Amino acid sequence: MIKHNFSAGPSILPKEVMKTASDAILEINNSGLSLIEISHRSKDFVDIMDNATSTALELLDLQNKGYKALFLQGGASLQFLMTAYNLLESKSGYLDTGSWSTKAIKEAKLFGDVIEVASSKEKNFNYVPKNFNIDPDLDYLHITTNNTIFGTQVKNIPETKVPLVADMSSDIFSKNIDFSKFSLIYAGAQKNMGPAGTTLVIIKEDVLGKVTRKIPSMLNYQIHIDKKSMFNTPPVFAVYTSMLTLEWLKKNGGISAIEKKNSLKANLIYNEIDSNELFEGFAEIEDRSYMNATFNLKNQEHKDIFNQMCLEANISGVNGHRSVGGYRASIYNAMEISSVNILVEVMKELKNKV
Catalytic residue among 68, 96, 139, 167: 167
Catalytic residue among 68, 96, 175, 191: 191
Catalytic: 204? no
Catalytic: 167? yes
What are the CA-CA distances from residue 261 to residues 148, 252, 351 (Å)? 19, 11, 28
Catalytic residue among 68, 96, 100, 175: 100
Contacts of 316-320 with C-beta under 8 Å, sequence gap 24+, read 316/3, 316/4, 316/5, 316/6, 316/7, 317/5, 317/6, 317/7, 317/8, 318/6, 318/343, 320/282, 320/294, 320/296
DSSP string, 148-186: TTTTEE--SPPP-SS-EEEE-TTTTTSS---GGG-SEEE
What is the distance of C-alpha 177 from the center of its chain? Answer: 14
Catalytic: 191? yes
Kind plus residue range of the DSSP H or E element containing 147 = strand 146-147
Catalytic residues: 100, 167, 191
